[in-house]
Every structure is written in structure tokens, then in C-alpha cells.
Structure 1
Amino acid sequence: MIKSSLTRNWLAKSLLLALLNVLIVVPASSLAEDIDREFVFASGLIEIGFPDFAEKVVQQVLRLHPEQKDRAKLIQAEILISRRKFADAEALVKEMGMNNPKAQAISLALAKGYYLTGETDKAKTIYNDFFKQYEGKMPTDSDLLRFYQDSAYQFGQMLEMAGDKEGALKAYDRILKSTKDKNAQRRIMADQAALYVKLAETSSGDQQARSLAEAKKLCDSIQWGGLDIWFGQSIITLANIELVKNNSAGAQKVIMGNLDILKEIDKYLQEQGLPLSVSPMAGARFLLGGLIQRDADAMSSKKEKRDETIQLYGKALTEYYNVFAKYGDSDWGSEAGIKAQAIKTKLEKNYGKTIKMDLGKFQSKAAATQFRMADNLFTQKKYTEAVGEYLKNLNQFPEAEISVPALNNLLQCYANLNDPLYVRMIGEYLGERFSKSSIAPLGLLSLGKFYFDKNDEPMYMYAYNTYLRCFPQNERAAAILFTLGGLRKKAGDEAGAMKYYQQIVDRYPKDQYYPKALSQMAWGAFAVSNYAGAVKGFTVYLAEAQPSPDKALAQLSLADCYRQLGQFREALKEYQTLIQWLSPANNPYGNSTADVQKNKAYLEKAWFQLGYSFARLNQPPEAVPEYRAKAIKAYDFFIANYSASPLAPKALSLKGAVQMELRDPRAAATFGELSSKYPQSDEGKNALFALVRSAIEINQLDQAKTAFDKMLSRPDTYSLDEFARVGQAFLDAGMKKEAALAFQQVVSKSADRNLLERSLFGLGSAEFALKNYDAAIKALNELMTKYPKSGLFYDAKFMLGTAYEQVDRLKEAQEVLSDVFKYADKPLLINQASFNLGLIQKKMGEKAAALASFQRVALLSDPRIQELRPLIEKSLMESIALFSELQRYQDVQDCCDQYVKTFPSGDQAEAVRKIKSEAKLKAAQTTSVPSAGTPSAPAQ
């Protein structure tokens, strides 16, 4: 049987995700395993770019398991590193101490972060120190072991890229010793064997012989372990061993002798829909192309062999082209395209042949491969070597898409080599030749930042001015102009600053920096809620403006900006200033009747917001009671002087909230006044609700309970409608016990359907939330008995069914769902009922029936209807699990295919793909594969 596997490219990027994040489905798990999974999941979220979600996962774990704080620090550090806050992560390591295994794991995460940002020296130092500490032993901490394996592979890649092949081999060996995963071991062994061959290519004598022997030994071990793509890779390595020995015939014999096996692997990959980029056939055909080309090159100098030479070049071209076209994403694909192009050119130029083979569409991929070495050298900060590689490849691919980022990196190389002449030459070429590129300007911006950090004004001004001249329409042009204006202003060059600001006004009237460059920028910023920018503009305007309604409005707006920014102390100062301006009669801010009316409206708002700002001011803590007293005073003034204002009911409500915060018993009277004085306002209609809500909002739950207890002590004083509304308020706030008591008042006394119907449902909901399922069943059954056609029918039935399920009254739960099926006419209701029924049937052990319910949802629902998609997704996952239990592996695969097609970016997409792969393997266990013969046993 041929085993499927992942690509070598994927391995190079994420081997450790495969080694460490394998999900094993078991009937039950221990608490420790659950916690482990949560932390591994959080770490995985960071890896794929969701640090905020990772933080939420960890906070949830800590709420339940506070003893896991050290593990949480590890995730916290990973989040910091993902945001490039390396100093903060280093501080965590120092705080925890390097004897703590979690701190050691953080240091390894730091090394990876440094490596990915080009700080290879720092990464190498951390890796060397760590692995020296664990020489001859393995970490026992599970988190540290996970990072140990990841880092061993990362370190190996780093060393291999830097040319330290022996160090890389040693690093890979650490993975072999730390994992029992046979498939992972075979992958690493295949990489090691290939690396030994590369080591042999650059050595001679006994050292070469030892390297080739180690490679042969590893290949034999791989072949002894079974037939899979790693078996195929070992064949390529064995052929390369012969090439190192200068035995071309031997290499060809190895390939041709195992070609049938390679074809079988290739065929299997195609049949299973697996990527051909992992097929060892790519390497075999590439190698054959090289062997044939070598013979053609040797024969090309003999004129009498011209026809035979052309024929050999044609065969080599065919091999290379097939690899490029069929296996383009493999490790050999791009290089094969380059070699094919070279032979095509030679046949056309030297031999006058016309080759109808179009390689143009593959040029960008080929170019990317050629620039890889230069990029690696650049990452390692080997700028001199990188310059040579970039220039060589730019001469070969001057117009390729990859050429622009290559030129950007070349700029950085010359800058780091302190060669301003070449910096200017490349900068001019980049700006003029690629003026329409969206990537080219990034090179000049990065160059400007490089010199700015070095305080080299002539060079950063050159970089930014070249950018502005060559890319005037780039999205960051206005921002750069604004920055340069700020720099000139900081240097005291006001005239120079104004020139840059004027360019923004002239060229970018729609840019966000446009209002900032104008003297009237305040109004523009305020209009787009840029309150921080507006504060600066208003301040300048108010300092120069003469008294008028416009100045009064600007003052009110300045105060509002501070309030929106949460700067209530500053807001208070500005509101008080406006009140001082507008309070005196005949003030100079309004001369006409219309102006006076405008100013009255401004003054009214100022008084209201004055009270609000005092109510929100919280520093210093000892002054808070005084601020709240001033808030009440301001609200009292407002209510007394603007009682007809639409804001008056809100002012009373906010006053009551402040009194609640102060635990002032007069709050109840305030809300009573609100209810009686403004009965038609929203606040008046909800005065009692406001009392409860305010207490809950300021986390004064005791106050809320006390107020409610008073209601219960004199229930006849309050209407049943008020009890219903208070019950709903408590329910919304999560105070389920109080909600149940409030609804019971209504249920026990009311015959009014409007009250009784929603109160029965509220009572059932509260009891359900309290897990008093029998009480919930009683209330919901009464609701359905009294009002069988209630608008709450479906909500009640679903909750009732779940309550029956919770108390193991499964037959009754099924009967409840039958009622839903009987009357439901909307897809969401029908499918929700089917899904719930499936859960009940599953709990009853009726797996076939449960499958039928889940499959109804999965197969018959329309995924284009957004509200059905969550149900379809959950039904597919339930179906996959049940089909797996029933060992119906083809059905598992079909469900997986449907999931991936319907939810290609779903949360479970990756897990589903893994499940499908496992199902394929299990389904294929009875499939036989032609034997490759009996390989020799590995050396002892």
C-alpha cells in the first residue's frame, strides 16, 4: 500500500505542526489533556495570524484553571513575538528565570521570531545556547518538548541555508530522537540522506566516502520501512550518490531500475487527487534530463555527432519540460523550467531548430527560484554576497515580477554596505523604470526609514524626494509629505514645512491628511470623528476667532472632542468656558434673533454634557464623590431650567444612575419622578427598568436585589407589567433567580395573554438557565397548553425539547420536536428540529436514525442561505463522526468533500482534510501495490 504524505515544501515550512498538532479522537480525555489541547490550540491560532483569539482562549482557561499562569505566559509571549514586541517577551523570560522550562520555551519562540525578521545572529545564539544545555538529553516539560522539536527543525534549516551541513544534520538528528512518529522519522531521514549527498559533493576522500555511506544507510532504512513517497525520494538520493561517485551509468541504472515503482507512486497520487508536487517522479525525470544533457554536452563538440547531439538535447528538453509542466510546484519544477529554456535557446541558436514549446508563462516561477539564494543571503545579512547574486539574476530576469522586490533588497544591501553612489543609481533606476509598480515605492520608503533611523538627513531626504517624484499617486504620498513637513517644522523651517503642506492641499484634496494641512483642519477631522486631530485645529481656531455663533459652536465641539476621547477633565473646562460665554444676557456671541436661538441650544447641550462629564470623571479616586455631587447639581440645574427639553428625561435618568452609584436611597424617588413627570418618554416608561438596569450597569447587584426585594414585599404596589419588564431585565443581566421570582409574580396572578404568554416563556427560560429543568418543563408546557399558536411556539418547543433531553426523557423530547416538524414551514426551523432530533437519537444510541437526521440537514439544506450554514456545518461534523464510528469510510470521505466544498475556510476545514486522509488510508488498506522487491536490511 502506498502511503500518502505532504510535500517537501510544506515540510520545510511546517513540519512541526504535523509532528505536534495531530488530533487523536478518543471517547474521553483527562482534564490535563483538555488543558494541553487548549494551549496547543491557542499556540496554533498565533501561528496562523489570530493572536487576539488566542488570548481569549487562554483567558478562558485561566478563569477555570488559574494555576496555569506560567503556561499562559508562554502564550502571552508568543503573542508579543507575533507582534514583534521582542523586548517585552525578553522581559518575561527574565522575570520567570531561565530555570523555568516555560521561560526556555519562550526563548526558543524568540529565536524563531528573530530568524523570521532577519535577526539570524540573535536566533543562532539562542539556539546554540539552548541545544548545548540539552546535549544528550531531552526536555521533560511537554510545552518545552514541542518547542524543542520545532526549533530543532528551524535551526537545521538555518544552518543548512548558511552552508553548515554538518550542523544541520545534527539538528535534524535531534528530531529523530525526540519523536516516535514513524512518518515524521522517515521524512527527516529522507532529508538527512539528501543532505549527506550535498555534503559529499563538497568533500573528498574518506570524508566523502563516510557521507555517502551515511546517505546509503539512511536510504536502506527508508526502503526497509515500506513503500511511500519517502521510498521514492530515497531512490533519487541513491542515484545522486552514484553521480557524486562520477558514475552516470550507475545513476541512470538506479532510476531506470526503479521506474516502475516511481510510476506506481505517481499513479496513486493522481488517483487519490493528491498534489503531484510531492511525487518522486519529478526528481527522477529531472535527474534523467540532467544525465542526458551531460551526454549531449560531451558530444556537442564533435561535428560528426551533430544529429545525435540534437536528438539527445531534444530528449533532455522533453524531460525538463515534462517536469516543469507536470510537476511545476515541486522542488525541481522551477529549475527544470530554467534548464528547458536554456536548451531550447541552444537548439534554436546553435542548431537552427524551431522549438514549439512555450515556456513564457512559467518565467515568473523560474525567476522566483533563481532569486531564492540571493534572498537567503540578504536574510542572513551577507550583503556583499547578496549583491553578486542579485545582479547576476537581475541580468537574467530584468523584467520579471520578482525583479522589483529584488531591486528593493538590492537598495538595502548597498545602504548597509555604505555605498551611497550605488544607492542613488539603483534608486533612480527603480523609480523611473518601475514607476507604475505598487511594490517599487516600498523600496524607497524602506530606504528612507533606514537612513532616517541613522539620522542621515541628506540620504533620507533623497529617498523620500525620489519617492514623491516618481510615485506621486502612491497611497502614502500625502502621509510622507505631512511627515516631511513636520520634520521641517521641528527643525524650525516653517517656510519649508508650508511647502510640503501646500503640496497636500494642491494634489490630494481627498486624502486624510488634507484637513490636517489646512488651517480649518479641525472641522474636517471632527466630521470624520478624528477627535484628536480636531482638538489641535479647534484650539488654533478658537485662539484667533472673534466672538460669534461659529466660535461658540467650535468651543462646544472642542469640549465634545475631549468627551469623546474620554478626557473628561479637559471636557469640563471647555464646557464651563462656553457656559461662561453664553450665560450673560446680551453677550457678544449672538446679535440676531437667529444667533441667540442657536446659542441657547449650544448652552443647553453644554449644561447637559457638564453633568455627564462630572458623572464620568474617575480620577483621583478620593475626589469621585465630589464629582458625582457636582454631576447631580448640574442635572438639577438642567431639569429646573430646561424641563421641556428632549434631554430632560435622560438627565433625570442619568441623575438616578449617579445616585445609584453613590448608593443614595433617593435614587428610587428620582426614578419615580421620572416615571410621573415624563410618562410618555422612553426613560419615563422605563423608570423602574432604569433603576434595575442602572444598578446592574454599575455592578451594584446588591442594590438591584434590594430594590427588587422591596417590590416583592409590596407586590400589589407594582403592576404586573412592571414585574414582567423587571423579570426580563434580570434575565438579560444573567440574574436568573431574580428573573424567575419576577415572572412567577405574573404567572400566578395574570390572565392577560400579553403578560402571561411572555412571562411563562421568561419563567421557563430562567428555570432552564438555572438548570431547573423540571420547573422549566412545567412553565413551557403551560405556555404551549394555554397558547398553542403562540408566536413563541418554536422557541418554546426547542427549549422544551432540550430540557426533556437533559432529564433523559428522550421520548418526550422526540415528541416535542415532532410538533415542530408538524407546523414548521421555514427551512431554519425544520433543519434546527432535524439537528436537535439527531442529537437526541445519538444519545439514545440510535446511530442510524441520528445519521439520517444529520444527513437531512447536510444534504437537503441550501448552503446559500446564510442562516442555515451553521446547522449544515454542525450536521456534517456530526455525520463524519458517526460514519467514522460505523467504519463507513467512503461516506466519511464524501462528507469531508462536501464540508471542504461548502466551507473551504471553515474552522474545521483543516481537521476535516486530515480526517479524509485517514479515511482514505483506512479504505485503501485492502488495496495492494506491486512489490518493489525485498530491499536489503538496514545496516546494524
Structure 2
Amino acid sequence: PLPEKARLIGYSPKKIREIIPKSEEEKVKNGWEDYLKALKEFQDGKKYPSASKLFREFHKKYPESKYLDHALYLKAEADYRSTFNELNPIFDQALASYKLAMREFPKSKFYDHALLKVASIFDEIGYSLEARALYNQGLKSKAKSLYNEVRKDNLAAMLMKEGRLEKAFDAFQAILRKSPNNIEAKAGIFEIANKFFEKKDFPRALKIFEAGASRWPGELNEKPEINFSMAEIYFSNKQYARARKHYFKLLNLDPASKNGHKALNRIGDSYMVEGKYQHALSVFDESGKKKGIKLDDEGKPARDKEGSLIREDSAETQYGKIRMADIGVRSPRLKIRDIVFDVEHYYKPFKTFDKIFVEARNVDILAEVTLSRGIAYLLEQNYLKAIDEFKKLLPLGPESQFFQEADRYIRQALIALVDKYAKQGGNLPILYAYSDFISLPIGDINNAQTLLQVGEAYQSIGMFVEAVKFYEKVKVLDSHKTYRDRVFLNLGHIHLENKGYDEAVLVGRNFIRNYPRSKRIPDAMKLLANALKGEGDFSGALKTYEDLLARFEGKAEIHFLIAETYTDMNQLADAVQSYQRAIATYDRQERVIPEYLQKAYYHLGSSLFKLNRFGPAMEALKSAKELFPDNLLRDWADYLLIESLEKLGDPAKITEGLNRLVKTENADDLTRQAAESRVKIREWEKQLKEG
């Protein structure tokens, strides 16, 4: 049977025959076919430029079409989408198209969407005021708009881009209170935390990260890099266990992460800082074996002839090897299994440093290995080499972490070096080292002990004005008055050297009164005695020495000083007794024989000679020569021996001794001249006797 024809209820066949032609006419009049053609181009998803062209032609051809509002809004959308995919989009055409559509058809159902798009374009090109105004206009004009949540997200994102992070955070929080599952707001919260992290505002960054991680724990799994940022903050806060937890989480979730190798090294660093060198060595060994992909000249992965990727040591690989060498320097006695570890970097740290210094992948690694090598020298107490290494880092500038580390270690090395020289009596090396330091772009040193030692070095070579300048600096820095007595005594010695005996006496007496428990009381009493001698008060000096003899050890030196005072008083018999006491009370177990003891032997002989006790004088002088043959007084002793022989009547030995003394290469000029004169006199006397 024939199919039954459909009928429109309420319309007669005649009426229907009248409607159909009218409908066709209306389609032609409104450009339905042209509209449909443009719409299909738009819906294709890849033909936005041609769709825009067709909609533009439609507008010109059918200015009164009932489809014109759709056509104009769709043209604007086509212009936007074709531009959006460009590398550097320019939205001028899209913006003009949206404005035209909105102006011509403000009542269109597409107006709200177009308003959002225009606002987003202004937002994209940095017109913040216009964008914010249009976002807010949309929120106010249509409270239940489907696009209002996007507007709120974008307004919060604008605050974030403008650096108003706290207000952006509050805005995202407000969105989340109404829409807890808002993806953009959730992402915005973590992005704000990351912004604080990039600004080194770690406290606020960590607060937001921790709150976000607690609220959306799955976010750390979906975005593993958040773990790295949190770990870095914990590491900077010295919360190493927490830092390791997040570093490990990053490595487990995303082993190929761009920060993965750095995270591995950070784990090693955390163990190293905690002194867990065995754990650190294990981590750095893994890091040192982890190769990076080599890049060609164009920055693309390099491949071998078989097409396989070529791998080489990366900067992070070299970092791991440097740290293995560091551990070798700091803890060289770990139990290492050669089968497990690449032990060369551990056992031969300087070889590792030298190799990486030549092959460093970047400036940071070059600086890192230089710093490590300097620290290694410092730990070996090779301070000059350490300072030379650290000086190489100073051109990096004060903002560089390596400059700051070098500054700190140079100061540390200088303090140790100056102290070492001071204990050895190396005054000129102290001044050379300090002069080199002060030429560096790191300012002066603020260590009171070092400045004091530099001042004492200047004082030892007679540069008293410079010494006093340093003592003034010490007074300012020495808040605990640790060196106050030492500085005061040094100033007294300067007065003494400048023959300011009254001032020196005053310093000595005030020191004894003000610093009764100081270990430098003996030195103060010696200063006082010397100052009294300078004033001519020999009895006062002797009384001071006698008091010193009764109160302190080191009696041999005190007896020597008493003997010298008696010599100055020309009381030679008393001087002889005191020299003999100095020699008798000296502790023979001391390794280094002091200068005063050598002088005691020689001065004893010369004092006996002056007393015409030639036999004992000869014995004393012979002992002095045998014990201290290199002393500068030896030649004078030879001369006195010859004189003593003459007094005792032994002409042959006298002539032989004088001739030997004249020919001695290292004899001082005065002694040689005296000997030459005696030889000539003896020859003259001999000639007279022979007629």
C-alpha cells in the first residue's frame, strides 16, 4: 500500500501550498544558503579565515537578513580563533569584529559571550583597566551568566599577574567557597604559592603550599613539580627530612622531571649537611653516574651513527662528582665498597677538582669546583692556596652566592693565616697577607684578634702610628673586652720605644692595678722596670724585678734582666752573680733556647773580663762559643779571649787568634777592625823590641 501522507494540523492543503513558496522566498531574501555555507566553514574547525571571509561577504550582501546577528558574532569568533593559534597573536581584527557585532546587536543572546571575549582580549594584550571594567560589567549586567565564574577566575588571575598576590589569593578563595571544585581557582592557588616561591618569599609560599596540599593532596601527584618547590623551601629552612620526603616524591612520580637530577643532588646535600656522609656518598655516586643528553650546535639532541642518543656528563653529574670529592676531603676514612661506588672521586679529590675545573659545563659548576678546591686547601691549613682559589670567585659580583661564600672563607683563611704567622713571629708575612686582603673588593676584616695581630706586626717593625690605628679598631670591636689588657700593654711598649718613660711607667702601674688577674702581669712588670731604668731609677727597676722573681715562674729570664740592670749600673760583680743564676735556673728541657740565655753566657764572660777575672772569663766565653756558635756575639767573644790570653801572657796563641779573627768572613766590622789594630800594634811592638 502507498504510504500515508503527513498532514499539518490546522493547515489546509491549500494553505500549505501558499506557505511553502513564501518560505523559500524568505530563505532567498535572508541569504540562508550563503549563511549555511559560511557556518559549515566555521564548524569545520580549521577554516576560520575562509569562514570569516564568507561572513563578511554575507554582511555586505544581506544587510537586512534576520541571520545577520548570528553572522556578525560568528565572524568575530572566527577572527578570534584564527588569530589565537598564531605564535604572536594580534587581535585587532577580532576586536573590531566583536565591537561591530555588539554595537549592531546589543540584545543578541551572543552579547554576553562577546563581552567576555573582548575583556579577555584586553586582558591578553595588557589593557588591565579595560579588561577589569568589562569583566565587572559582565558580572553586574547578568548575575546568573554562565560566564561569571570565568570572569571571576580571570579577575583573580589579573591580580596575580599584577603581583597583587594576597588579593589574588583572597579572590580565588572566595571563588572556591562558592565553587569548591573550580579547577582554575585551585590551579590559581598553587600558582600564587609558586609566585611567592619565585620571589623568595618562602614563608608565605610554604603556608599556601601546605594548605593546598592538605586540601587537595592529589594535586601533588598530578603536578609533581609542586613537590620540588616545597622541598626547596624545606631545604632552605634546614628541615632536611621533610625536604627529602618531597624530593623523593618528585623522583618517584616523575623520574624524567627537568628538576629530577637536581632533586637527587639536593638529597645528597641534605645528608651531607647532617654529617651523614655514607648516605650522601651513596646518593652522589648515583648522581655522578647519571648522564645527560648531549646537544648539538643547534641545541637539538645529538645522535650517533646508529641513531642512538649520545649521553655525556651534565652540570648536575659534575656536581655529584664534586660532592663525592668534598666528602673525601672531609671524611676520608669511610668504609667504601669498590664494587658499589666509583671510588676515584672520593679517594682522589684534588684530581677530581682539577678535571672538572677544566671540563666544567657552566659557570656555576666552575664556581662550585673552585669553591670546593679552596675549602679543601683551607681544611689542609694551606691558607695561601685557599685564598688564591677563593679570589677567583670575586669577579662574579656581590650578588652572587659564590662571591658571598668566597668572602666568608677568605676572611676565615686570613684569620687562621695571621694567627699562624703570629705564633711563628712572622710579622712581615702578616703584613703582606693583610695588605693582599685589603686590596680585595670585600672591605676590611672585623675580627678583633686578627686586627690586634696586624697592629702588633706593625708595632714590631716600628710603625707605631699604624699600630695605634689598628688598636683603636680593636677597642671598637672588642665588646667583651677580651683584648683590652693586651692593647693597653702594647701602647705602653710604644711609649717605651718612643722614650716616653713617664707614660710607660704610668701604663705599667695602671695595668698592674686594673688587671691583677691578667696573664700579662709579668710583661707589665717588665715594662715598668724598663721604664724606670729609662728614667734612671735603677733601684726601682731592681725592686720591680725582685717582686716579679718572687711572684712568677720563668726565673731564669728575670735573673738575666736583673743582671742587665746591674750591668747598666756598672755593678759588675752583682751582674756576674745574676748571670750565673740565670744560667743555673734555666729549664734545660725547653726545645727552643731563648735569646736571653745565649746573651747570659756571653755577657757573663764579658763581665768577668771587665772585672779582670781573665781565667773565668775565658771559661765562660769558651762555653758560650761551644753552645751557641752562631750567635752574633761570637766574634766579640773571640776578641775578648785573645785579650784574656794577652793578659795571661801567651803571645803565640794571641797572634794566631788575632790573625784568624781578621780572616773570618762573617765577623762584624767593629770586631775585625779591633783585631786588625791589635795585630798592627803587636807587630809594631815586636819591631821596637828587635831594635
TM-score range, shorter chain: 0.3 to 0.5
Name the structure, 1 or 2, with higher relative contact order (CA <8 Å, separation 6+). 1
Q: Normalization by structure 1: what TM-score?
A: 0.25
Q: Which structure is larger by alpha-carbon Rg, 1 or 2? A: 2
The TM-score normalised by the length of structure 2 is 0.33
